[in-house]
Amino acid sequence: MSGDALPRMANVTVIKTFDIHCGLFAFTMVALTILYISARLYQQAFGFSMGLDANSPEFDRYWMTLFRIELPVLYGAGVLCWSYLFLTRDRSIETVTPETELRRYFYLTMWLVVYSFCIFWTGSFFADGDGVWHQTTLRDTPLTPSHIILFYATIPIYLFFGVGSFVYAMTRIPAFCRGVSLMHAIAVVGPFLILPNLGFNEWGHAYWLTEEIFSHPLHWGFVVLGWCALALAGVLMQIVERFRELIPLVFKQDAAGSPTDANPFRDAWEKCGPEAQRQRYKPTSVSGRRPISGKSK
């Protein structure tokens, strides 16, 4: 896509050398939406009708079959994708042009959008569905209709994109190759650890009768690991910082002669001199507030 979906602005001339393709991103988002809605419809159709007794043949047919298919397919797809990204890594990453680097930052951001989208469906929608399931029925197995979707389908899907974003960044973007992004690691590893924490959760539910109080401390492992999603802000900050450096380099070709490149505010600011600049941003004493400068304390 060359940005046609965006609102067109008057007098915009986009340089020919920079373009990004959003087709795969759009396809992934649509496919995931269809997949998640289909999973929810499957729960609606066969959750209570076929999923109440783990020892029944219909449970085996409708739910265990799904479980046996989704695990190898989803994890297998993940391993294939991560291997592909690694094996096709840019082996001369230090000579990447600003255009290519900016393009890859866009693609990394798209990886993160898809990852966030999957986190939403998992942490909010299907986790909520798991709650309503346990408020309604008594579990006789860790493999309930809600768990088979939540823990063994939606979590592998977000792992696919979380780990994929990490491998993509490390193999294609110089800054993420020279050093490990601490916040990217936290944003991926934290939600990943929800999967092993599942062992603790199921162990507790197997031996303690918690009356399914949803805010039971048994669930707080998920909470703490979910906090790691905050670290995505750090990744976005890293992208924004480099974005600000790359944009002038990539788009300097179309800087001259464009009507919207004229900047009366900047021109007036530069002409007025330091004294007028200081006067313009002199702190007001009406409320005693400070001017916007530096970080709040």
Partner 1 sequence: MTSTADIDAAASPRENTRFKDKKGETVISVSGLTPGAARYSRLFDVLVVAAVVTIFGGAIHLHVMLTVGDWDMYVDWKDRQYWPLVMPVSMIMFPAALQAIFWVNFRLPIGATVGATALLIATWIGRYANWWIWTGFPFTEGVPSQALAGALLMDMTLIVLRNSLFTSIIGGFAFGFVFWPSNYSALAPFYLPVEHQGMVASLADMIGYTFPRSNMPEYLRIIERGTLRTFGSSVSWVSAAFAGFICIFMHQLWWRLGLFASQATFLKNSDVVKSFMGIKSSVAS
Separation CA 120–CA 113 (nearest Å)? 11
Residues 154-193: x/- map of binding to partner 1 (CB under 8 A)? ----------------xx--xxxxxxxxxx--x-------
Q: Which of 62, 117, 152, 161 binds partner 1 (CB under 8 A)?
A: 117
Q: Which of 39, 74, 110, 153 binds partner 1 (CB under 8 A)?
A: 110
Measured between alpha carbons, how far is residue 178 from residues 26, 86, 186, 191, 237 in Å?
A: 30, 15, 18, 24, 17
Could you tell me the smallest distance in angstroms from the CB atom of residue 297 to partner 1? 7
CB 116 within 8 A of CB 156: no
Separation CA 66–CA 58 (nearest Å)? 12
Of the candidate spans 37-45, 49-57, 59-67, 68-76, the one that interacts with partner 1 by CB under 8 A turns out to be 37-45
35 binding partner 1? (CB under 8 A)? no
24 binding partner 1? (CB under 8 A)? no
91 binding partner 1? (CB under 8 A)? yes
Q: Which of 116, 141, 142, 193 binds partner 1 (CB under 8 A)?
A: 116
Q: Which of 35, 64, 106, 202 binds partner 1 (CB under 8 A)?
A: 106
Q: Which of residues 203-222 bind partner 1 (CB under 8 A)?
A: 211-215, 219-220, 222
88 is written with which tokens?
Answer: 């096709």
CB 77 within 8 A of CB 65: no
CB 95 within 8 A of CB 89: no
Of the candidate spans 53-61, 65-73, 74-82, 119-127, the one that interacts with partner 1 by CB under 8 A turns out to be 119-127
Q: Which of residues 60-79 bind partner 1 (CB under 8 A)?
A: none
User: Please, what's the largest Cα pairwise distance for the chain?
Assistant: 84
Separation CA 81–CA 111 (nearest Å)? 13
Separation CA 60–CA 53 (nearest Å)? 9
93 binding partner 1? (CB under 8 A)? yes
Separation CA 158–CA 250 (nearest Å)? 32
292 binding partner 1? (CB under 8 A)? yes
Q: Where are the beta strands (DSSP E) in 89-147?
A: none
Kindly tell me which of 73 and 267 has the beta carbon lying closer to partner 1: 267
Separation CA 260–CA 67 (nearest Å)? 57
Q: Which of residues 126-155 bind partner 1 (CB under 8 A)?
A: 127-129, 131-138
Contacts of 216 (CB under 8 A, 6+ apart): 210
Q: Which of residues 265-284 bind partner 1 (CB under 8 A)?
A: 265-269, 271-273, 276, 279-280
Could you tell me the smallest distance in angstroms from the CB atom of residue 19 to partner 1? 10
Could you tell me the smallest distance in angstroms from the CB atom of residue 72 to partner 1? 26
